[in-house]
Amino acid sequence: MERHSIEADIRTETGKGAARRLRREGRIPGVVYGREKKPESIAIDPGLISKLMHSNSIFDLTLKGDEEKEEVVIIKDYQKDVIKGTLTHVDFQFISMDEKISVSVPLRLLGTAAGVHEGGVLQQLMREVDIEALPTNIPSEIELDISELEMANSLSVADLETPEGVEITTDSNEVIVTVVPPTEEITEEEEEDIFADEFEEPEVIGEESDEEEEEDFEREEE
């Protein structure tokens, strides 16, 4: 697991106005909490962490205020601007290197499923799993070989192999990936029949056919 050193300033001002001022200055607000420690509001340069949001990296965080403090943290949550996609807020969690923590780890599929070679469609239903481990044992990703996955079959969390010291806490019955048969194609002839059925002019109750109208007219002429 990667480890990085970063710095952040302890914030004394909070609220939306203070957060907007920080963002105008090129920084973002954040908070550090956990392990029964006092939460700290911080200001940080998003460029220090924007490329590490999904890596489960460990950070040696220097908190700069009246006194500097050194803490070990991980990113627990974050927010992004829905339009620009830029980082707007980040939550860090205090951790101890000798205590297990809970995190989500991405899944990586290896190979091409046998069922896909048969014409099936691969559907990935999960892209990460929850685990518990010591910080130094947290993998960057967990791999799953799908090369022998056949048509109409699936692989679940129970099929994952994890490194020593890593416990998966996601339900073992949760399906990760499956191969389903392709949707049956409709031929041109079937499509024409369906079109004709959908747009066939309905018979109006009480409406006479052309022949019946002609007969009625002839009787009236007589």
Q: Measured between alpha carbons, how far is residue 170 from residues 104, 167, 174 in Å?
A: 10, 9, 8
| Token reading at 122 | 């691969």
Give the pLDDT confidence score for residue 96 in this predicted structure. 96
Give the pLDDT confidence score for residue 188 in this predicted structure. 54
Give me the amino acid identity at 117: H
Q: Is 176 helix (H, G, I), strand (E, B) or coil?
A: strand
149 φ/ψ angles, rounded to the nearest 5 degrees: -75, 120
Summarize pLDDT for 23-50 with one digit per residue, the tens.
Answer: 999 999 999 999 989 999 999 999 999 8
Q: Does domain 3-94 have CATH number 3.90.850.10?
A: no
Evaluated on CA atoms 135, 2, 163, 150, the torsion sign reads: positive
pTM above 0.85, yes or no: no
User: 101-180 has which CATH code?
Assistant: 2.170.120.20
Summarize pLDDT for 128-157 with one digit per residue, the tens.
Answer: 999 999 999 999 999 999 999 999 999 999
Give the pLDDT confidence score for residue 52 in this predicted structure. 86
Summarize pLDDT for 163-219 with one digit per residue, the tens.
Answer: 899 999 999 999 999 999 987 444 555 555 544 554 454 444 444 444 444 444 344
Residue ranges covered by each domain of the chain:
3-94, 101-180
